[in-house]
């Protein structure tokens, strides 16, 4: 078994909106269950054991469980999991695997004319980038060869960086369909989006994808469907997303995507 990760990323806005209207006791119990599950794996499907993990009386926990149970789904072995947490776990495992494989490839390339490498197999030759795309799907085939490393910059460029935006989409929305090809008609649509005011920076697209990740509709948590990059950038769909039509749980606070982005400044 691989080494367990000691931490995971928690989106404050997402978590806050998920538990809005809950009591402090309910939020505390939910957070304890998440932490336990991250460390130990699936939770036992037993309210008595769960109340012990949440450090809450059995009777009180049974009452709180009416809300808490909506955040967990059944798993094999009469266990419970939080879907978002397990997606994050898988994403981290794939990321670590990609780093290891990149290191081995770098060592092999660096020492191919000098026998066996003396360095650590995870070392990477100077100048060689390591893929950050946390996906076990087949490699993305794009028209040009670019680094998989996503570097967020506030600087803008006149040319639409298709590959960087696609890499950022993969990194931020690993649960959504992978981009395998990017034909000219999709390049044209994305290019038009890039030319739109305030959308011509990698920083904007990072926030856009994070905003999408907060939508249960767009990330497959409501139906057996996830929005792909092609779907997201089409004018009609992009406008609906911008107007908050797929983020009803956040609309009372932020009204629209623009309001949410402004709040992140």
Q: Where are the alpha helices (DSSP H) in the chain?
A: 12-18, 24-40, 47-53, 58-68, 83-110, 162-172, 184-195, 202-213, 229-233, 235-242, 248-254, 257-263
Average pLDDT of every residue of the chain: 78
pTM of the predicted model, to two decimals? 0.42
Tell me the domains of the chain and their CATH numbers.
12-81 (1.10.10), 137-263 (no CATH)
Q: Which has the closest alpha carbon to 152: 92, 99, 205?
A: 205
Distance, in Å, from the CA atom of 265 to the CA atom of 263, rounded to the nearest integer, reads 6
Distance, in Å, from the CA atom of 184 to the CA atom of 188, rounded to the nearest integer, reads 6
Position with higher pLDDT, 146 vs 29: 29
What does the DSSP 8-state code read for residue 141? -
In this predicted structure, the answer to whether residue 8 has a pLDDT above a threshold of 90 is no
Position with higher pLDDT, 128 vs 98: 98
pLDDT band at residue 12 under the 50/70/90 scheme: confident
79-81 and 43-44: which strand pairing?
A: antiparallel
CB 74 within 8 A of CB 45: yes
């Amino acid at each position: 078994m691989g080494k367990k990760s000691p931490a995971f990323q928690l989106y404050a806005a997402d978590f806050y909106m998920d538990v809005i209207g809950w009591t402090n006791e309910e939020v505390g119990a939910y957070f304890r269950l998440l932490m336990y599950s991250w460390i130990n794996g699936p939770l036992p499907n037993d309210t008595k054991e769960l109340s012990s993990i949440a450090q809450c009386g059995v009777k009180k926990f049974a009452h709180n469980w009416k809300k808490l149970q909506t955040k967990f789904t059944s798993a094999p072995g009469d266990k419970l999991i939080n879907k978002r947490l397990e997606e994050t776990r898988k994403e981290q495992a794939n990321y670590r695997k990609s780093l290891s494989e990149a290191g081995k490839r770098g060592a092999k390339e660096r020492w191919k004319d000098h026998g066996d490498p003396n360095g650590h197999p995870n070392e990477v030759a100077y100048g060689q980038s390591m893929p950050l795309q946390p996906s076990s799907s087949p490699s993305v085939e794009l028209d040009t060869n670019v680094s998989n490393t996503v570097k967020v910059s506030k600087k803008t460029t006149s040319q639409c960086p298709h590959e960087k935006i696609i890499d950022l989409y993969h990194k931020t929305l690993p649960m959504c369909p992978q981009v395998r090809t990017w034909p000219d008609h999709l390049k044209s649509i994305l290019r038009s989006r890039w030319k739109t005011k305030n959308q011509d920076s990698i920083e904007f697209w990072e926030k856009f994808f994070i905003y999408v990740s907060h939508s249960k509709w767009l990330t497959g948590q409501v139906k057996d469907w996830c929005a792909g990059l092609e779907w997201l950038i089409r004018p009609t769909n992009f406008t609906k997303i911008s107007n908050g039509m797929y983020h009803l749980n956040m609309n009372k606070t932020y009204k629209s995507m623009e309001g949410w982005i402004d709040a992140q400044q």
